[in-house]
Amino acid sequence: MPISIEHALRDAALLLAQHQSPSPKIDASVLLCHVLDKPSSYLYTWSDKLLTDEEEAAFNALLARRKLGEPVAYIIGYRDFWSLRLNVEPSTLIPRPDTERLVELALERLPQGEGTVLDLGTGTGAIALAIASERKDIGVTGVDLRDEAVALAKRNQLANGISNAAFLQSSWFDNVPAQRFTMIVSNPPYIDPEDPHLSQGDVRFEPKSALIADDQGLADIRHICQHSPEYLADGGWLLIEHGYDQGEKARAIFADAGFSDVETVQDYAGQDRVTLGVLR
């Protein structure tokens, strides 16, 4: 017997709640919007509309995957970030709202006029493309260790019609052309390999190589800080996203690498999230 959109959403939210989804109503809404190819407003404007058998079957198939814990972004194949719609794959991290704070801070500190930005560990290209979309006069280069991530970032660049960005394969600075950038940004791996959160929630499905780092999650942050002065112009900024409990140690690493005006900025939840400094 056909069921209405309202009925389908209610049942789906209850099902997902029973399987510890942190946001069952939102997840159900996003998945049904994807099946119907409609905006969320449609679900409530036409809540009494009956689903076809094909729509109901497709919705149930997606719910079965979410019930097992697979991230919604991987199920539908994209995530909205900043003003962009980005394709996502299991080979890369899923862009998160907290990282938009890094983009905001970068845009606040980019000087007027032409310049260049390097995004280390670009993944989907989220940070690089967000900055490039706001500053057409800035050339942005994104690098990633994995070829599949570079290919994905390039597809996202084309899909969003952004011309002032380029992506290449590199282990941090290894293949970066010798030049001095106006700014370097990064959301590197920063989780301690022993962190119990790695076995919980969406991160179970994300690539561990993009999540964990040695030295209690600080190894890649230290590497980036130590080598960034070789690639930054005088007065250039370095901004790195990190864990909520790493602000103090990150500031010490920045200072040891010769950065000035070092500070840690909080995310939208009030947690330490981005440490930054300038090279003088």
Ordered per-residue pLDDT tens for the chain, 280 residues? 889 999 999 999 999 999 878 899 999 999 999 999 999 999 999 999 999 999 999 999 999 999 988 999 999 999 999 999 999 998 888 898 899 999 999 999 999 999 999 999 999 999 999 999 999 999 999 999 999 999 999 999 999 999 999 999 999 999 998 899 999 999 997 665 665 555 566 666 556 666 555 667 789 999 999 999 999 999 999 999 999 999 999 999 999 999 999 999 999 889 999 999 999 8
The CATH number of the domain covering residues in 5-69 = 1.10.8.10
pLDDT at residue number 21: 82
Please tell me the distance from the alpha carbon of residue 111 to that of residue 180, in angstroms, as a whole number: 15
Within 8 A by CB and 6+ apart from 50, the residues are: 2, 3, 4
Its CATH architecture, for the domain 93-278, is: 3-Layer(aba) Sandwich (3.40)
Q: Which regions of the chain does DSSP assign to beta strands (E)?
A: 78-81, 84-87, 115-120, 138-144, 165-169, 181-186, 232-241, 260-266, 272-278
**Dihedral class, residue 263 (left if φ above 0, else alpha if ψ from -120 to 50, else beta):** beta
End-to-end CA distance of the chain: 70
Taken in order 156, 159, 160, 166, the sign of the CA dihedral is: positive
pLDDT at residue number 167: 98
- Domain limits of the chain? 5-69, 93-278
pLDDT at residue number 91: 84
pLDDT at residue number 217: 75
Please tell me the distance from the alpha carbon of residue 120 to that of residue 94, in angstroms, as a whole number: 16
Gyration radius of the chain's alpha carbons:
21
pLDDT at residue number 207: 64
**To which residue do tokens 């510890």 refer?**
20
Q: Are strands 165-169 and 84-87 parallel, antiparallel or unpaired?
A: unpaired
Please tell me the distance from the alpha carbon of residue 51 to that of residue 31, in angstroms, as a whole number: 14
